[in-house]
Amino acid sequence: MTAAEAPTPDTAPHLSAAARGDAPRVGVLGDGQLARMMAPAAVELGVELRLLAGSAEASAARVIPRTTLGDYRSVEDVTAFAADVDVVTFDHEHVPAEVLDALTAQGTPLHPGPEALLYAQDKLAMRRAVEQLGLPNPHWAAVHTVAELRDFGDDTGWPVVLKTPRGGYDGKGVRIIDSSASASAAQDWFDRAAEQGTGLLAEEKIPFTRELSAQVARSAVGEIRAYPVVESTQTDGVCDIVVAPAPRSHPTHMEDAASIARLIAEKLGVTGMLAVELFEITDGERAGVYVNELAMRPHNSGHWSMDGAVTGQFEQHLRAVLGLPLGSTAPIGGPGGRTVMKNLFGASASDLHAGVPEAARHAPEAKIHLYGKEPRPGRKVGHVNVVLAPEPGEVAVAAAELDRAQSRALHAAALITGTTTDD
């Protein structure tokens, strides 16, 4: 597998805007919170952000003035939208191949490009690419029948993680098959996969100690900057809490995680933000880090950087897709600093804003980010960040202070979402 050709500096998207004499124009496909959080960074950089949204009430459409209503799955809608932007980027990976091909034929710069985006869209393609790059995968196989699933499980051990190759996110498109006897429960998935002309991805249920995420930015001119590797805690398969940089870190594992993300960005030709989700095993013969999934866009595990790094991931993504010099990824709290990020999930509160005053009073150090989304149980509706710096004379944030910060972030989140009545 060879690296995609990096554009030369004289073809960087921002230079076409300079020749035109006005602000660079970045078009975004996808109207969720990731597109929404690009807006403040675009304002600060003097970038004109344009959005293709399915609804005027969508999260991003509420804050991006230059919004066009249309369907990201429609070749006609997308090509018309992209006709006068300098570059198109994404807030999700689900744009159909025929739309990407039409944009390429139209000459619209895409970052990331279709050749790279494939590996974030298709988990089977991702597993094959990781294997070809010689990077650590869990044991895996493409399976097309219940019998093949049983063979895989009998060979690698039960339980087995079964995934749909495309369309899954936040725990969707994933199920745990506990035993050979229960494999037949997945027959409906195999039937749908057969209709779509693809198989399913079977993976060993790796005995990980914790989950990590390594993020890098790679620009349209090939520059790469890595963020500190973070620890991610999942609830029901969804990212819930992130601590950055990851505490209690095994130095070799952190170096390996960052190197894996850098290599994937280079060899797959990623432009923009790349998140590599990883499993860490700390003991035994299999100690090390293993690739879980890829995301080629800003990612939930990087929301901490909005307040906790010199350059947040949304600003960095815009810099990268425009070919601008990348910003520092250093933690605001210094080498020993930490940031705790806690997601907000829709719960009992119908008005999130009603809980903001109490959250701000109880945790004034918490930075609150709401997404303008109607609360529903389990739906991501915002996040809070608590940034920490070491006490004078200390080289790192103490474990007890990190625990207190996490408790304050959890309490602020609960007050906003209505999951506590504590005063």
pLDDT at res. 393:
87
pLDDT at res. 11:
57
pLDDT at res. 197:
87
Report the binding-site residues: 123, 163, 203-206, 211, 292-293
pLDDT at res. 58:
98
pLDDT at res. 146:
97
Burial of 318 (0-12, 13-18, 19+ CB in 10 A): buried
Q: Provide the total of helices (H) and of strands (E) in the chain, helices listed first.
A: 14, 17
Summarize pLDDT for 349-372 with one digit per residue, the tens. Answer: 788 999 999 999 999 999 999 999
pLDDT at res. 347:
80
pLDDT at residue 16 is higher than 90: no
pLDDT band at 173 (very low <50, low <70, confident <90, very high): confident
pLDDT at res. 349:
73
pLDDT band at 15 (very low <50, low <70, confident <90, very high): low
Q: What element of type H or E holds 404?
A: helix 399-417
pLDDT band at 3 (very low <50, low <70, confident <90, very high): very low
pLDDT at res. 338:
97
Mean pLDDT, rounded, for 317-327: 98
Summarize pLDDT for 370-419 with one digit per residue, the tens. Answer: 999 999 888 999 999 999 999 998 999 999 999 999 999 999 999 999 88
pLDDT band at 286 (very low <50, low <70, confident <90, very high): very high
DSSP assignment letter at 165: S
pLDDT at res. 321:
98
Mean pLDDT, rounded, for 194-222: 95
User: Phi, psi at residue 309, to the nearest 5°?
Assistant: -125, 155
Predicted model pTM: 0.93
Summarize pLDDT for 55-94 with one digit per residue, the tens. Answer: 999 999 999 999 999 999 999 999 999 999 999 999 999 9
pLDDT at residue 10 is higher than 70: no
The amino acid present at 376, given as its one-letter code, is R
User: Phi, psi at residue 92, to the nearest 5°?
Assistant: -155, 170
SS3 170: coil
Query: Which residues fall within 8 angstroms of residue 409, CB to CB, at 6 or more apart?
Result: 241, 340, 341, 342, 363, 366, 384, 385, 386
Q: What element of type H or E holds 239?
A: strand 238-244
Across the chain, what does the average pLDDT equal?
93
pLDDT band at 421 (very low <50, low <70, confident <90, very high): very low
228-255 as b/e: b if 16+ CB within 10 A: bbbbbeeeeebbbbbbbbbeebbeebbe
pLDDT at res. 284:
93
Provide the 10 A C-beta neighbour count for residue 191: 9
pLDDT at res. 378:
87
Report the binding-site residues for ATP: 123, 163, 203-206, 211, 292-293
pLDDT at residue 240 is higher than 70: yes
